[in-house]
Amino acid sequence: MGMPKAMVDRKKCLSCGGCISVCPQDALSMEGMKALVEDDKCISCAICIRICPVGAISGEVYS
Amino acid sequence: MKYDCVVVGSGPAGSITARFAAKTGAKVLIIERRQEVGVPVLCGEGISKKIDEWNMLESRRWIAGDMEGARIYSPDRTCVTLSAEQAGNETGYVVYRDIFDQELARLAARDGAKIMMNTQATDLLKDKDKIKGVKVKHFDEEFEIEADIVVGADGVESKIGKWAGINTTLKPKDLETCAQYTLTNIDCKDAYCDFYLGKQIAPGGYVWVFPKGKDVANVGIGILASLSESGMAKKLLDNFIANEPRLQKGEPIRFLAGAVPVTNPVETTVQDNLLLVGDAARHVDPITGGGLTHCLEGGKIAGETIGMAVEKQQFDQETLSVYETGWKEAFAKKIKRNYMVKEILLDMDDKTLNMLADSLKDVKFDEISTLGLIKALVLKHPTLLMRLRPLMKVSKEV
């Protein structure tokens, strides 16, 4: 099992773009007005999870 | 069709840039990924009355409230009142940003800019290393738009800069993460923008109440991202509203999230065939988080520079650097100074903020002078002077 990677709850995301602006790996982008994580770029730093103002990002372990 | 200039993003910086470029006769296209300009709003919606002097807008439909000033509340609720002129960027008008942005886009179109909605930039179009335009997705259709100049007006999350090799990634300590309700059924008869400070209220930021009428206001929070945990901005805002008598009965008609860069401006905003404007260039006041006036001021310079470059048919970095020199002259010093002040304010504990507010609460701010300020501080809280030394140093340096 790998480290948990960021995952965006599309129902909660309000498309503020904060997570995209701080991602050190440029692993996030806006897709259909919701943030989307490219999980092969994600290094599990959890910065985006902590900064989301509405708690729309969580850590998920991908199998 | 090939354009002289493609602007990515129809926010205020994008529309103003497009308008002033189009005015010179340049062929300009704005692309916007959303389906409506200005929606969703991502903003506290305060702006300085400086905007009146610039005559960049025609109607007044975008004004929701005309403010008399600002009140800053320290953690123990000591109130410092500022007149609109003293309160800086964010106090003056409270606006409807959707209408505001649409008005700016309309004026860009009037002056000749084309606008393409539902169109997301997916990459820069390059020939070897030379930027030739943008790759876009319009609904399910993918195609290329050729242009001599690409303008990144793509906001806080800007990708255009990154694709061009400019490092625009923000550190969490240089981002405010925000949430805001528009609350109705509340009392805001006083036309004042209110700011509430305190580690418990909004760590590394503030709560604001910006009236949009006598019973409706934007009530929002910004906290420093480095001090944030998941969902904290919304939770703290809900707490604040639940504990504030005049807001408790409020009912929301809108909820939104936001992200505001509070950093130094991007040092190099110009490359061959490319420039960055607005939030993408980090043209935001690091203390207040306000960026609208810089967007308009910088965007005008960008548009005029593009016009000049198109006229000369020269799109290299040196030609476009007229824009960079221009915005640096206009507001770089202020942003850099306020970034230093932000760092100093962040170090202050609640007790220091309370003392500061207590010293300032009776000062008439239209008579403000450094000497008057120091006198007020010495009389009330002499120990404050020591803590404010870094501030004095900054004011001497810049």
Per residue in B300-328, pLDDT tens? 999 999 999 999 999 999 999 999 999 99
DSSP SS3 for B315:
coil
What is the model's pLDDT at position A62?
59
CA distances from B367 to B49, B82, B132, B230, B325 (A): 20, 11, 54, 44, 34
Give the gap in angstroms from C-alpha B204 to the nearest C-alpha of chain A: 13
According to the model, what pLDDT value does residue B264 have? 96
Q: Which residues of A fall within a CB distance of 8 Å from B117?
A: none
Q: What span, in angstroms and rounded, lies between the C-alpha atoms of A40 and A49?
A: 17
Confidence tier at B374 by pLDDT (50, 70, 90):
low
What are the start and end residues of each CATH 3.50.50.60 domain in chain B?
Answer: 2-64+94-169+263-333
* Angstrom distance (rounded) from CA B144 to CA B147: 10
Confidence bin at B54 (pLDDT 50/70/90): confident
Q: For B161-190, what is the mean pLDDT?
A: 96
Which residues 69-88 of B have a C-beta within 8 angstroms of A? none
The answer to whether residue A43 neighbours chain B at the CB level (below 8 Å) is: no
C-alpha dihedral (B9, B12, B17, B19), degrees to nearest 10: 100
Beta-ladder partners of B317? none
Query: What is the average pLDDT across A20-47?
Result: 96
| Confidence class for position B126, pLDDT limits 50, 70, 90 | very high
pLDDT (0 to 100) of residue B30: 98
* B202 and B265 Cβ atoms separated by less than 8 Å: no
Report the pLDDT value the prediction gives residue B84, as an integer from 0 to 100: 67
- Does residue B88 surpass a pLDDT of 80? no
Is the CB of residue A3 less than 8 Å away from at least one CB of chain B? Answer: no
Q: Do B170 and A24 touch (CB under 8 A)?
A: no
Query: For B2-45, how does the pLDDT look when each residue is reduced to its tens digit (9 = 90+)?
Result: 999 999 999 999 999 999 999 999 999 999 999 999 999 998 99
pLDDT in tens, B220-262: 999 999 999 999 999 999 999 999 999 999 999 999 999 999 9
Best residue in B230, B254, B284 for a mutation probing chain A (most A CBs within 10 Å): B230
At residue B299, the 3 state secondary structure works out as: helix
Q: B144, B153, B122: which is closest to B306 by C-alpha?
A: B153
pTM for this prediction: 0.94
Chain B residue with Cα closest to A58: B230
Q: Which residues in chain A have Cβ-Cβ distances shorter than 8 Å to B178?
A: 16, 53
Consecutive H or E run containing B391: helix B389-397
The interface predicted TM-score of the complex, written ipTM, equals 0.95
Q: Which among A14, A22, A52 has the least Cβ separation from residue B230?
A: A52
What was the pLDDT predicted at B380? 76
* Nearest-by-Cβ selection for B177 from A18, A20, A30: A18
Q: Is A41 on the interface with B (CB under 8 A)?
A: no
Q: Cβ contacts of residue B68 below 8 Å, gap of 6+? A: B83, B84, B190, B191, B192
- Nearest-CA distance from A20 to chain B in Å? 5
User: With respect to CATH, is domain B2-64+94-169+263-333 assigned 3.40.1160.10?
Assistant: no
pLDDT at B366: 54
Q: Answer yes or no: CATH 3.30.2010.10 is held by domain A5-60.
A: no
Contact criterion met (CB < 8 Å) for A53 and B172: no
Q: Residue A55 and residue B156: Cβ atoms within 8 Å? A: no
Q: pLDDT at residue A27 above 90?
A: yes
Chain A contacts in chain B segment 174-193 (CB below 8 A)? 175, 177-179
Q: Does A57 touch chain B (CB under 8 A)?
A: yes
Residues in chain A with CB shorter than 8 Å from the CB of B152 are none
Q: Quick one: which H or E segment has residue B177? A: strand B175-184
Q: CB distance B175–A49 less than 8 Å?
A: no
pLDDT tens, position by position, B156-172: 999 999 999 999 999 99
Residue B396 has a pLDDT of: 65
Domain ranges of chain A: 5-60
**Set of chain A residues whose Cβ sits within 8 Å of the Cβ of B34:** 33
A25 touching B (Cβ < 8 Å): no
**Over chain B, what is the mean pLDDT?**
92
Once rounded to an integer, what is the mean pLDDT over residues B67-86? 87
Choose the CATH number for B172-261 among 3.30.9.10, 3.30.70.20, 3.40.50.300, 3.40.50.2000.
3.30.9.10
DSSP, residue by residue, B196-260: E--TTTSTTSEEEEEEEETTEEEEEEEEEGGG--TTHHHHHHHHHHHH-TTTTT-EEEEEEEEEE
Domain with CATH 3.30.9.10 in chain B: 172-261
Which of B353, B343, B388 has the alpha carbon at shortest distance from B173? B343
B232 chain-A contacts, CB cut-off 8 A:
53
B window 201-240, beta carbon within 8 A of A: 225, 228-234
Q: Residue B170 carries which DSSP code?
A: P
Residue A63 clears pLDDT 90, i.e. is over it = no
3-state secondary structure of B266: coil
Q: Higher-confidence residue: A14 or B366?
A: A14
Q: How far is B290 from chain A (nearest CA, A)?
A: 16
- A24, A29, A53 member nearest B178 (Cβ): A53
